[in-house]
Amino acid sequence: MNDISEAQKNQFLKAYDDLHDALFRYIVLKISPRDKAVDLVQETFTRAWEYIVRGEEIGNIKSLLYRIAHNLVIDEYRKKKETSLDSLMEDGFDYGENSHATLEAKIDGEAVIKIARTLDEKYRDAVIMRYVDELSVGEIAAILGESENNVSVRIHRGIQKLKELLRDANYE
C-alpha cells in the first residue's frame, strides 16, 4: 500500500463532492432500481480510491470515475435483466410530491426515459453522457475508449433517432 499524499486525498474528495450526483444520474438512467444505482455509485468511488491507493497515475479523475461507472453498469447488465417500471411500482416506488403537475411531469419524464432506453446502447450512452451528464466529447471519448469523431457521430445519430422515436410516440 502506497502512502497517499494530501493532494491525492483532496483531489479524490473534491471529485466525490463534484461528481457524486452526476454519476448517480448517469447510472440511474441505465439501472432502474435506485438502490442498485446508489450501490454502483459507491462501488465506483471505492474502486477509484483503490486505484489511487495502488499508486496508479490518474490523468483525469472525472474520466476515470465515468469509465469505472460505465464498466460497472455493463457488469450489472450481464448479471440480470433491467427491472421494469411496473415492477418498481409494485415494489412501492414513490413519485414523491402528490401535485398533479409534478406527478404528470415525472410520468412524462419516465416515458421519455423509457423511449430513450430503446436506443441502441452505443447511441444512448453517448447522448446521456453529453446532454444529461454534460461531459465534453473528449471526455466521452476517453471514457468509451473511442475517437472524438466517432463519439460525435454517435451523439448526432442518437439525437436523430431519439427525435424520431419521440415523434412516433407523439412527444413532438
pLDDT in tens, 61-109: 999 999 999 999 888 877 764 444 445 455 555 544 444 454 445 445 6
Domain definitions of the chain by residue range: 1-82, 117-172
Domain 1-82, CATH number (from 1.10.760.10, 3.30.300.30, 1.10.1740.10, 3.40.250.10):
1.10.1740.10
Burial class (CB in 10 A: 0-12, 13-18, 19+), 19: buried
Going from the C-alpha of 92 to that of each of 85, 104, 113, the distances in angstroms are: 11, 18, 19
Q: Give residue 41's pLDDT.
A: 94
CA angle, residues 101, 105, 111, in degrees to nearest 5:
145
| Domain covering 117-172 assigned CATH 1.10.10.10 in the classification | yes
The three three-digit cell numbers of residue 156, written as one number: 448526432
pLDDT in tens, 124-137: 888 888 887 788 89
pLDDT in tens, 144-155: 888 999 999 999
In percent, the amount of the chain with pLDDT more than 70 equals 78
pLDDT in tens, 52-68: 888 888 888 999 999 99
Q: DSSP 3-state assignment of 4?
A: coil
Per CATH, 1-82 and 117-172 having the same topology is answered: no
In percent, the amount of the chain with pLDDT more than 90 equals 25
Please, which pLDDT band fits residue 122 given cuts at 50, 70 and 90?
A: confident
Q: Specify the pTM.
A: 0.57
Over the chain, what is the mean pLDDT?
Answer: 79
DSSP character at residue 118? T
> What distance in Å separates the CA atoms of residue 17 and residue 102, rounded to the nearest whole number?
28
Report which of 63, 41, 26 is spatially closest to residue 143, judged by C-alpha positions.
Answer: 63
